[in-house]
Amino acid sequence: MRAGRSVGAHCRGCIGRATVLIASVMIALGWNASDALRKIESARGFPVPDTPEQLEWILNFNPES
């Protein structure tokens, strides 16, 4: 990802668990959580993540803790 290459991840629907994983990686690489989610939504073509709990987890994710 740092080299600008595409990365893929999927779960059954690709909107919940895969979003949590990819958003977490993006945040660890320095992305703002909201920007990461917008980028994932743009790539997927529909709103992500799947549940409010997943959204809360992503928004509160701190890779340094």
11-64 per-position pLDDT tens digit: 676 567 899 999 999 999 999 999 999 999 998 888 999 899 999 999 999 999
- Give the domain extent around 28: 17-60
The answer to whether residue 42 is domain-embedded is: yes
Q: Record the pTM.
A: 0.84
Q: How many domains does the chain have?
A: 1
The answer to whether residue 7 is domain-embedded is: no
Q: How much is the pLDDT for 5?
A: 81
The answer to whether residue 50 is domain-embedded is: yes
The answer to whether residue 36 is domain-embedded is: yes
The answer to whether residue 11 is domain-embedded is: no
Q: How many DSSP H helices and E strands does the chain contain? A: 3, 0
The answer to whether residue 41 is domain-embedded is: yes
Contact 26, 1 (CB under 8 A): yes
Q: When comparing pLDDT for 5 and 28, which is higher?
A: 28
Nearest to 52 by CA among 20, 22, 21, 12: 20
Q: How much is the pLDDT for 65?
A: 82
Query: What residues have CB less than 8 Å from 28, skipping those under 6 apart?
Result: 63
